[in-house]
A and B are shown apart, each in its own frame.
Chain A
């Protein structure tokens, strides 16, 4: 909202500041956390700082520098907290993956570092190519199509692979990739674009039913379709977490776009019905619920979640210390259960700090949504923030036995290239929207009368 031309300057008493200095300061802190974590792993395990700390530390610093410079030049008014937060999480995740690598003789940390480099490159790429997030509005249906294709890709025979009971991976050229992670992003863009177009119809046309405004039947179409798609994902790909995420994302964005809480009610009912039906119908859902409620009754089946509990308890309040616990005893402690591994070595205090960092990222996302001036940007950023919040809640809740376990990844922490890539892309989008939201209004003062074009005044 720019002030009137030349009028009193009430609203623009707010001075937009670039905050890049604050970001640099926070980045230094984040790098301290990340690099010292790596050093402590070596100290804790072998009593000496690891020899490759220079290369590792250097790489992390380089990544931080590149991304910071990109933001400084390409999105200078962006939010200063998001980048340091994700660098800190990345560093902590790398340290834990390295720690487990050392114990079980694997090489995941190196691969994760490569993916981190790729992700930062992508991050910079998005900032370069996408100067205004509103250009994505034109790609709404393309994004929708891409999202569905990416979701369905693992179902193709030959390309897809069934790993640990879920068909969400594809293999090519020696790499394995989870296209669902990128699909999440594409679908968020699609929903935002679609809802900006249709929100008036969805918001205003409706019937009163039992004191609640319910939308028209024909407008329910999209949400029902979405519900069916996520159920399909659940059934065919056995991916509980993703289906929950997609459905939740859509309902929430509907609610924000229309400002009608009835969408939440409808969504909630559909979710409850879907959850209950899937519990009754599918064995793998029942297994997950059993593992949540009574894991200790069957140590063979629920070994992973039991080890996760032992891991957390062993950490206690202050944690065992980097390198001094036994997170390698937990199956997939470097990926799905990295939350409990951190709980074991960093303790309750460390794990709470990590949860709070996630909370910070989500909060900054919501703040961007509030400040953003265009509806597409608002919707997109709130969608991305909610995705992050839901994902963190579902993953960390699952591994700590707050809710049943699902197959979602822990953003930035967990080993997994596709997840890391997708999350850095989300960060790039958020920073781009944030820049445009916080940059000073364009200068609309008219050219001074002393300039080239002169008006000849005829008296």
Chain B
């Protein structure tokens, strides 16, 4: 168990670093897909089986496909490295040191404060669905409205805006009708 977790955690962190460091956005997208599959593996280990499946289907299967479509359609070139100035480097080191100073006592507390689980959780689709459709019915319906609004918004933002020019009598010439289709 610990070996599985250590392996998955290592791949998760390594692929996240790879997303940040790769210059080619296509390689970053593929590293992010690997990261999301690792997150799904950790969900499965935390007894969240339904969420692991939803993670693969929604995140790795839909959102990342959308991102890959975008990278393919926009024909992105490889990003060039920009040299970091000396001031920014010093500021970065200072911020990192300050962050470590804050983080280490927090980590010492975290190991004692969070209670470990007593009984295994039932994170199946049946259990999640039972709560989703009774207690969380209203947020569920609002979420469906939200997705609908997002669809309409995305289409409106991304579509091309054609203007159709008509004559003074209100008729639209045939060539303009063809161009706006």
A and B form one complex: no
Residues of B within 8 A of A (CB): none
